[in-house]
Amino acid sequence: MEEKKKKIYILATGGTIAGRGQEGKTAVYKAGGLNLDELLSTIPKLHDQVEMDGEQMLSVDSNNVTVKDWIQMANRINELSKTDIDGFVITHGTDTMDETAYFLNLTVKTEKPVIITGAMRPATAASADGPLNLYQAISLAASSEAWGQGVLVCFCDSIYSGRDVQKVNTFKTDAFNEKDLACLGYMRDEYCYFYNKSLAVHTVRSMFDVTQVKELPRVDILYFCVDANPDLLHFSAQHSKGIVICGTGSGDYSEAWMKEIAKLEDKGIPVVRASRIGSGVITENKYFEQSQNCIPAYTLPPQKARILLSLSLLYTNQFEEIKKIFQRY
Using the Cα atoms of residue 158, residue 279, residue 151 and residue 304 in order, give the sign of their dihedral: negative
Is residue 197 exposed (0-12), middle (13-18) or buried (19+ Cβ within 10 Å)? exposed
Find the helix or strand (DSSP H, E) in which 323 lies.
helix 319-328
276-280 contacts at long range (C-beta below 8 A, 24 or more positions apart): 276/223, 276/224, 276/246, 276/247, 276/248, 276/302, 277/248, 277/249, 278/166, 278/168, 278/179, 279/179, 279/180, 280/180, 280/250
The residues near 107 (Cβ < 8 Å, ≥ 6 apart) are 70, 71, 74, 206, 208, 209, 210, 311
Annotation marks residue 16 as catalytic: yes
Catalytic residue among 16, 110, 173, 299: 16
**Catalytic residues, which ones?**
16
